[in-house]
């Protein structure tokens, strides 16, 4: 059965966003301890494109399936984990790209390039990096993995910050406050 992407983020209510987050059943890779280790020969480029042995992975459903197996360890190494093997994967910047953002009832929801939805908050914090010339904002997704906000999503978040926090560049979501200043 082909994968059908969910509706536009702006069309969803906060409860519908929460339902979609809950419906995404991810494998319990953090509970697996595979003995076989190796290299996946895969790479996630800075723009969010996935490659295997240098060739792009063009099927969004495959990228979505692999993304559910991703983890990042304390040393910053990314892995694809199955019950049987743990394979390294090269990630140039972040494992995901946040491609859309919306504020609903004071909470911030993000859509990733894999169509996953993430609501920012204490468990999914926003982190500012870079410098004033080239700022970068990252959203914690899961298992140590982050999404970098693309330019349009950064602009959406900046507009929300100006509307709600004025010149302080502060946003809040699920009771957590985040400064967008570096």
Report the pLDDT value the prediction gives residue 1, as an integer from 0 to 100: 45
Residue pLDDT tens, the chain, 182 long = 455 555 666 676 666 666 666 667 788 888 899 999 999 999 999 999 999 999 999 999 899 999 999 999 999 999 999 999 999 999 999 999 999 999 988 899 999 999 899 999 999 999 999 887 888 999 999 999 999 999 999 999 999 999 887 778 899 999 999 988 87
User: Which string of b and e fits 131-166 if b means at least 16 CB within 10 Å?
Assistant: eeeeeebbbbbbbbbbbbbbeebbebbbebbeeebe
Asked if 95 contacts 141 with a C-beta cutoff of 8 angstroms, the reply is yes
Integer Cα distance of 170 and 106 in angstroms: 12
**How many residues can be counted in the chain?**
182
Signed CA dihedral, 125, 152, 77, 56: sign only: positive
- The CA-to-CA distance between both ends of the chain, in Å, stands at 44
**Beta bridge partners of residue 178, listed in sequence order:** 171
Integer Cα distance of 16 and 57 in angstroms: 30
Integer Cα distance of 11 and 30 in angstroms: 33
Report the pLDDT value the prediction gives residue 135, as an integer from 0 to 100: 82
Report the pLDDT value the prediction gives residue 93, as an integer from 0 to 100: 96
Instruction: Find tokens 């996953």 and name the residue.
Output: 116
Question: Among residues 21, 4, 5, which one has the least CA distance to residue 109?
Answer: 21
Asked if 73 contacts 79 with a C-beta cutoff of 8 angstroms, the reply is yes
The model's pTM is 0.87
Phi-psi category of residue 27: left, alpha or beta, with phi > 0 → left and psi -120 to 50 → alpha: beta
For residue 30, what is the DSSP state? Answer: G
């Amino acid at each position: 059965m082909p994968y059908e992407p969910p509706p536009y983020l702006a069309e969803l209510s906060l409860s519908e966003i929460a339902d979609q987050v809950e419906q995404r059943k991810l494998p319990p890779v953090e509970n697996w301890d595979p003995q076989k280790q190796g290299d996946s020969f895969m790479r996630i480029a800075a723009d969010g494109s996935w490659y295997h042995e240098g060739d792009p992975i063009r099927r969004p459903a495959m990228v979505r399936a692999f993304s559910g197996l991703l983890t990042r360890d304390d040393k910053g190494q990314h892995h694809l984990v199955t019950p049987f093997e743990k394979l390294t994967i090269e990630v140039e910047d972040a494992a995901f790209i946040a491609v859309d953002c919306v504020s609903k009832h004071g909470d911030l929801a993000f859509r990733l390039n894999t169509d996953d939805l993430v609501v920012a908050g204490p468990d999914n914090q926003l982190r500012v990096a870079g410098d004033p010339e080239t700022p970068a904002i990252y959203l914690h997704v899961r298992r140590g993995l982050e999404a970098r906000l693309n330019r349009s999503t950064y602009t959406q978040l900046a507009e929300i910050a100006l509307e709600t926090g004025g010149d302080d560049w502060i946003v809040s979501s699920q009771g957590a406050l985040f400064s967008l200043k570096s």
